[in-house]
């Protein structure tokens, strides 16, 4: 259906970007933030995954959509949409990466001394001819 020369399911924002009523938005006002705050949170984040999440939200605020951001970052669109929903409903602290389990990262000095001393020294392997 066309209304006023345009399809009714599309409308123009003040910045000229095409948007649909179903397009997801970053609700940064709810948390007293601005798009620049999201960018700063990304730049100052200690963990790479946290940086990625805040940068994705920042890009969405810059007239982009979650699907486009997902394609650029090589993430599944539902993953980016999940970050957006978490931010909108629970706030920025929910995007901070937290280790939730699994095997700890490899650190040779983190093993107890008894475990280090009980391993046999490595001998060079002979090459086959």
Q: Find the radius of gyration of the CA atoms of the chain.
A: 24
For residue 14, is it within any domain?
no
- The tens place of each residue's pLDDT in the chain, 129 residues long, gives 344 444 434 333 444 444 445 568 899 999 999 999 999 999 999 999 999 999 999 999 998 889 999 999 999 999 999 999 999 999 999 999 988 888 876 766 655 665 555 566 666 777 776
Domain that holds residue 45: 24-96
1 domain residue, yes or no: no
Predicted pLDDT at 99: 83
Answer whether residue 110 is part of any domain.
no
Decide if 113 is inside a domain. Answer: no
Number of domains comprising the chain: 1
Its pTM stands at: 0.61
The alpha-helical segments, DSSP class H, found in the chain are: 35-44, 48-61, 66-73, 77-90, 113-118
61 domain residue, yes or no: yes
Residue 114 lies in a domain: no
Q: Is residue 109 part of a domain?
A: no
């Amino acid at each position: 259906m066309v209304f006023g020369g345009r399809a009714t399911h599309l409308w123009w924002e003040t910045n000229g970007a095409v948007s649909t009523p179903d397009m997801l938005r970053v609700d940064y006002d709810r948390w007293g933030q601005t798009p620049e705050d999201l960018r700063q949170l990304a730049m100052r984040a200690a963990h790479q995954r946290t940086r990625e999440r805040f940068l994705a939200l920042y890009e969405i605020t810059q007239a982009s959509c979650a699907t486009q951001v997902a394609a650029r970052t090589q993430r599944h669109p539902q993953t980016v949409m999940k970050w957006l929903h978490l931010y909108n409903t629970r706030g920025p602290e929910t995007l901070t990466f937290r280790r939730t389990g699994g095997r700890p990262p490899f650190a040779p000095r983190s093993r107890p001394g008894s475990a280090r001393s009980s391993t046999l020294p490595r001998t060079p392997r002979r090459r086959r001819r």
